[in-house]
Structures are given as C-alpha cells and as structure tokens.
Amino acid sequence: MEIQQAMQRDSIATARTLSEALPYLQRYDGAIVVIKFGGHAMGDDAEMEKFARDIVLMKQVNVNPIIVHGGGPMINEMLEKQGVKSEFVNGKRVTDAETMKIVEMVLSGSVNKRIVGALNKQGGKAVGLSGKDANLMVCNKAVPDMGFVGEPSKINPGVLHTFLDSDLIPVIAPIGVGEDGQTYNVNGDTAAGAIAAGLNADRLLLLTDVSGVKDADGNVITQLTPSHVEELTTAGIIAGGMIPKTQTALTAIEGGVRGVVILDGREPHACLLELFTEHGAGSLIR
C-alpha cells in the first residue's frame, strides 16, 4: 500500500512539473537554442545518455536545438598516442599541419559521431557536420598566429535553416574553412557563439564544469548585463577560464543572440532546468 501511495505521489509530482512548465514550453515554442557541449559529460556514457535524452525532448516540444561540441581531452589522448606534443597560448592549442589532421579526425570523426549516435539512440534524428560543410563557418587565421587556428569571420546558416525546417538535430564539430579552402581549428565556445549569432538564436547555452559566473564571495550570479560582466572582469572577479566564456557571451549578444547562459553541464537535466523552470540553472547574460 505504501509503495502504491509513493508511486502515486511521484506521478502527481511529475504531472505538476509538466503543468508548471507550460508557460516556458510556450515561450520557447519554435525557438533556436544553440548548445555548446563539452567537459565532463562528454567522457561519461551515462551523462551522455542523459544529455541526449534531454535534447531529444527539447526537439519533441518544438524547440530547435543545435549542438556545437568540443573534444579537447579526446584530442589530447590521440596526440599522445601519435607522439605529437601540444603547445597552448591563452588556452588555445597551437595547431601545426600534423596536429590539424588529428584534430579534424577526432572532432569530425569519433567525437561527433558518438554524440550523433547517442541522440539517435534516444529516438532523435541527429546529423553530424562540421563548419566546413556548405561553408557554414568561414574563418580567418587567428591573431596572434597559432598555426591553423581560426577565428570565424562569416557564418552561412542556410544549411542549418534546412535542418530547422525538419525534425533533424544538427551536431557541429568546430572545424572552419578559410576563403582559400584551408582547414582551421576553432575554439568550441567561439564557434558556438558565432553560430548562435549567425542564426540570431534565442539562447546560447555554454555547458561547463562550473556552476556559473561567481561573485567575490563565490556565489553564483544568476543574472548579469554586459556592463556588469565588464566590471567584474576589470575587478579580477571574472578570471582565468571564465574570461573566454564571458567574452564569447558578450560577442554573441552583440551579434543578436537574445541571451547567453553559462551553466554546469554536470547537473542533471541542466538544459531543461534552464529553459523550462522558473529558477534556471546558471548565469544568464542578456
């Protein structure tokens, strides 16, 4: 009897949750949401499965998720196997011709297809591509020169609009192409921000291994404006690896994205909590 009552309470709680989500489901009906996927969840099969299920659910309720992924640890592992040493400048990998071949092989190959497979296993219809496909992400060589590291100069979102008009979920490896056809390695956050801006996305979700932007006391700041971000950066409160993420957010907002959220991808159902609940799950910059 007690088990039946407990199950009934769980069912009622589930129904209440769905009911309370209605305004948010209406709010994001047809919205474009670009999600940068990386960090801990990428290397864990169980976490990957949960992430995939949430993304397929988003598509099912008529949100248009676009996944842009990283893959640094997987690249490091392959470079080590091949005996190729890496050098980093300001958190970005110096990429010579040999390294570029391995980066493209890992990102456009094993990493991309693993995410596609996870989404399809949950009933989605995912399609893998890179920024080279249909000249989606055209790049210039990054400054300072770090070899074949690129900065997006132009986004051609036509191919993505084709996917948005269907039930397909695009999964994009951050590999760009130069005007001369040269292949470039692009930082995953930078690529996600540029693609979100090119689509005038409603939201850009940057999944990380931290809970969000924190104040001087270590508390997560749930909402910020661009000017607030600049103040915290000048004061040294936003520092280290959070700087490129907040700068990506500011650039995306300047490019037309309505809001950027930096959130902890390790939290269960982080994307759903952010989009479909009152309190969200990270730091919203808008």
pLDDT for the residue numbered 9: 72
Neighbours of 168 (CB within 10 A): 16
Starting at the edge strand found earlier in the chain, the sheet holding 137-141 runs 150-155, 137-141, 175-178, 183-185
pLDDT category at 11 given cuts 50, 70, 90 is: confident
Q: How many CA atoms lie within 13 A of 130 on its CB side?
A: 24
**Rounded distance, CA 83 to CA 248, Å?**
32
Average pLDDT over all residues of the chain: 92
Q: Mean of the pLDDT values across residues 67-86? A: 91
Is pLDDT of 196 > 90?
yes
| 33: β partners | 65, 203
Name the CATH superfamily for 30-285.
Answer: Acetylglutamate kinase-like (3.40.1160.10)
Alpha carbon 89 to chain centroid distance? 22
Please classify residue 21 by burial: count the beta carbons closer than 10 Å to its beta carbon, then call 0-12 exposed, 13-18 middle and 19+ buried. middle
- Residues with catalytic annotation? 36, 39, 72, 189, 245
Contact 225, 285 (CB under 8 A): yes
Q: Mean of the pLDDT values across residues 219-242? A: 93
DSSP characters over 231-266: HHHHTTSS-TTHHHHHHHHHHHHHTT-S-EEEEETT
pLDDT for the residue numbered 1: 63
pLDDT digits (tens, 9 = 90+) for 27-41: 999 999 999 998 767
Q: List the domain boundaries for the chain.
A: 30-285
pTM for the complete prediction? 0.93
Is pLDDT of 5 > 70?
no
Taking each helix axis from N to C end, the angle separating 97-104 and 72-82, rounded to the nearest 10 degrees, works out to: 130
pLDDT for the residue numbered 6: 65
